[in-house]
Amino acid sequence: MASKRQIFVGRVPVGGGAPVVVQTMTKTETANIEATMDQIEKVAEAGSDVVRVAVPRDQDAKALKEIVKRSPIPVIADIHFNHTLALKAIEAGAACVRLNPGNIGGREKVAEVAELANRHKVPMRIGVNSGSLPRHLHELEETSPVEALVEAALEFVRLMESLDFTNFKVSIKSTNVPNTIAANRLLSEKIPYPIHLGITEAGTKWSGSLKSAVGLGALLADGIGDTLRVSLSTFHAEEEVKVAWEILKALQLRERGPVLIACPTCGRLQFDMDSVVAEVEKRLEAYEEPIEVAVLGCAVNGIGEAKHADFGIAGAKDEGVVFAHGRALKKVPTARLVDTLFEQIDLSLARGGEVEFDETESAEGEAWVQKIEMENEGDLTPEKIARMEKEAAEKGESDRVLLDEEQSPTAGRRFTRT
């Protein structure tokens, strides 16, 4: 369940039903103000709502003052071991402090930070990592790592509450995806505070993105998690932000920019779709509007399977069609497909989202699609079978199309129709 409580990291609400907040962490030396600002600008542009910077030394805490002033998004200070750095970060204007109450030097020091944070109305992120559980939970960790993680988090929650500090969010992180999912599910039932999601040391752009999509996606789909960071082993923090957005967009939790859909290609593919999809994806980065754009590798199935898309292209060897909302806009040479697609998108956006169809060009496009469909009439693609099943079901004939061996042979498969 979404958290009951809400906190504010600067102007950004976290929890209590607010949109799930995207965050990342800079990978520069924080004291290198120009390099850090450069990265912050990039992640803000990519859609990070807040950004975290590491503050391991005095010079980083000093740099924080200027970074906070110049940053277009709220800055969170990431502190480990040294509570005086947490105090300095709050004085420097950090919008939030992330610390692990278990490694900051005992209750007195946590209390000192909590007292100053309360005075400055600065929230904290408190949390545990599977790699740094308190010693007294090691035995429990052996038998039940999930319970150990949750118990450690609850101990910190109780500690902060006993210090009269409730302006916090909580994180439980592990490199183990099933444990992260199970621990956060359990935690969400036990506390009203916002939950920060992440998979520790997820990995490279490829494997880390997948692990994050699986782990964080499962939780977010259940309504658990109020902010997330995708951790990837890349210096380009903006890549983490892009992946986080793809997860949120896939779950329809937030909208940002275009959504690209592309067929997986198959043996019917007739043009170099790999490079076309890559080009469309790249060019779509310049758009902020939540338009859906489809790229189909052929028109064998017509454009029906992408008719919900705002715009799309379907290609063949020499020619292709640009379409909008399931209707052909125009037929163009394959080499002009992408340029024409973007011309049409721009025209429509300039008209406030309206699409104007030139009747002659549209009819030419429709005729071309029909020709391709007819040329491949006997070709029973999965999409065609699905369409036939739907049409039959709508007519009330049957919810399954009865196919004979001539139409769709089963020789070579593991079943027969007789």
Which residues bind to ligand SF4, rule: CB under 6 A? 263-266, 268-269, 296-298, 300-301, 381, 383
CA atoms of 402 and 383, how far apart (whole Å): 16
Task: Work out how close the CB of 328 gets to ligand SF4 at its nearest, in angstroms, rounded to a whole number.
Answer: 15
Cα–Cα distances in Å, from 262 out to 130, 258, 346? 38, 13, 20
Q: Look up residue 117 and give its two tokens.
A: 């944070």
Q: Nearer to ligand SF4 by C-beta: 121 or 317?
A: 317
Task: Work out how close the CB of 19 gets to ligand SF4 at its nearest, in angstroms, rounded to a whole number.
Answer: 34
Which amino acid does the sequence have at 297? G
Q: Nearer to ligand SF4 by C-beta: 215 or 320?
A: 320
Q: Nearer to ligand SF4 by C-beta: 198 or 297?
A: 297
Rounded to the nearest 10 degrees, how much is the dihedral formed by the CA atoms of 15, 20, 22, 25? 40
Task: Work out how close the CB of 269 gets to ligand SF4 at its nearest, in angstroms, rounded to a whole number.
Answer: 4
Residue showing the smallest CB distance to ligand SF4 in the complex = 297
Task: Work out how close the CB of 372 gets to ligand SF4 at its nearest, in angstroms, rounded to a whole number.
Answer: 10
Task: Work out how close the CB of 272 gets to ligand SF4 at its nearest, in angstroms, rounded to a whole number.
Answer: 12
Q: Nearer to ligand SF4 by C-beta: 285 or 379?
A: 379
CA atoms of 270 and 77, how far apart (whole Å): 52
Q: Nearer to ligand SF4 by C-beta: 210 or 269?
A: 269
Task: Work out how close the CB of 224 gets to ligand SF4 at its nearest, in angstroms, rounded to a whole number.
Answer: 35
Task: Work out how close the CB of 366 gets to ligand SF4 at its nearest, in angstroms, rounded to a whole number.
Answer: 17
Q: Nearer to ligand SF4 by C-beta: 145 or 312?
A: 312
First to last CA, the chain: 50
Q: Nearer to ligand SF4 by C-beta: 18 or 296?
A: 296
Query: Contact 129/174 with Cβ under 8 angstroms?
Result: yes
Residue 35 φ/ψ, nearest 5 degrees: -65, -40
112 in the Ramachandran plot: left (φ > 0), alpha (ψ -120 to 50) or beta?
alpha
Pairing state between β 259-262 and 292-296: parallel
Q: Nearer to ligand SF4 by C-beta: 6 or 376?
A: 376
Q: Nearer to ligand SF4 by C-beta: 156 or 368?
A: 368
Task: Work out how close the CB of 369 gets to ligand SF4 at its nearest, in angstroms, rounded to a whole number.
Answer: 12
Rounded to 10 deg, the angle between the 205-221 and 237-250 helix axes is: 40
Q: Nearer to ligand SF4 by C-beta: 113 or 321?
A: 321
DSSP letter string over 136-196? Answer: GGHHHHHH-HHHHHHHHHHHHHHHHHHTT---EEEEEE-S-HHHHHHHHHHHHHH--S-EE
Q: Look up residue 206 and give its two tokens.
A: 């490829």
Cα–Cα distances in Å, from 180 out to 148, 170, 176, 256? 12, 13, 6, 27
Residue 365 φ/ψ, nearest 5 degrees: -65, -45
**DSSP letter assigned to residue 336:** G
Q: Look up residue 247 and give its two tokens.
A: 């997860």
Residues recorded for the chain:
418
Q: Look up residue 113 and give its two tokens.
A: 């930070």
Task: Pick the closest to residue 2 from 12, 10, 14 (CA basis).
Answer: 14
Task: Work out how close the CB of 97 gets to ligand SF4 at its nearest, in angstroms, rounded to a whole number.
Answer: 50
